Amino acid sequence: MIRIAICDDDAKFIKTEREIIEDYFAQKMLPYSIDCYFSGEELLKNVVQLGALDLIILDVEMKGKDGISVAKTIRERYDKVNIAFLSAHMNYSTDGYRVRAVRFILKNMDDLKAYLSECLDCVIADMDLIDKEITLNFTIGKRTLKISEIVCLKAKANYTVFEFVQEKSDAYLIRSSLKNLTNAMKTFDFISISSKETVNLRHIEAVSRYKVILDNGDEIPISQKKYNDVFRAYTLFRGKNA
């Protein structure tokens, strides 16, 4: 579960931010929660719970306690929570970086979706998603899965089959293209190795010329046009997790 708080005294912007975030996580198929606050004072009343959040989005210019002051109070207690600022004026950015803001988002309706999505990408990329869970609607019903237990996804007619560490069967079918599911699972370090197969990078033991060797001993062909991308992704993943 990725936990987010939005603090903004503009109800119109809170509604828009929430809709963008909900759409973002629906496409990523990630579990999430969003809490909304309409003032810095209201947010800080929940200071004990703030340490459990993954991202706090603060409007800089609010009535009463401004976003920078709120962030400083949060930082006195919680060192690791991600904070992003939202403002129509870039001149506040220096103050924002003093409290180690991950992003400074321009409060502009035309660009808000792009800026906010990029901020969420940044936060998720820095999170340890190995033990995260995802809930998907299979043909057998909704199931919640551990990301670390999914080995690969395989195309099967108009469906995609999920294979697991302990199980190989056609039970876990989703009526969706492999391409669409691969785009959603990129967040979890999945890589397409051919038009028929997508693999969880954490289960790749080695990449040799035109094949991946999995930690269960399976060898799966890589399409020639995807080889460089697979090798690059595998090398970066191993470097990041060395």
CATH tag for 133-240 (out of 3.30.70.580, 1.10.3720.10, 3.40.50.300, 2.40.50.1020) = 2.40.50.1020
**Cβ atoms within 10 A of the Cβ of 200, count?**
22
Residue 183: what pLDDT? 85
160 closest CA partner among 175, 147, 146 = 175
The arithmetic mean of pLDDT across residues 120-135, rounded, is 74
H helix intervals, 4-62: 11-28, 40-44, 47-50
Tally the C-alpha atoms within 13 A of residue 117's C-alpha that lie toward its C-beta.
Answer: 14
Burial string for 11-41 (b: 16+ CB within 10 Å, else e) reads eebbebbeebbeebbeebebebebebbbbbe
E strand or H helix that includes residue 156:
strand 150-156
Residue 184: what pLDDT? 81
| Angstrom distance (rounded) from CA 202 to CA 215 | 9
**Does the structure show a pLDDT above 60 at 155?**
yes
Q: Which amino acid is at 113?
A: K
Mean pLDDT, the chain, whole residue set: 87
The arithmetic mean of pLDDT across residues 213-236, rounded, is 93
Domain limits, CATH 3.40.50.2300, in the chain: 2-125
The model carries a pTM of 0.59
The arithmetic mean of pLDDT across residues 4-8, rounded, is 95
Residue 97: what pLDDT? 64
Of 2-11, 24-33, 98-107, 164-173, highest mean pLDDT: 2-11
Q: Which residue has the higher pLDDT, 227 or 186?
A: 227
Q: What is the total residue count of the chain?
A: 242
Domain limits, CATH 2.40.50.1020, in the chain: 133-240
Fold of 2-125: Rossmann fold (3.40.50)
Collect all residues with Cβ–Cβ distance below 8 Å to 209 and sequence separation of at least 6. 227
Structure confidence at residue 94 as a pLDDT band (50, 70, 90): low
Q: Which residue has the higher pLDDT, 153 or 238?
A: 153
| Tokens linked to 119 | 């901020």
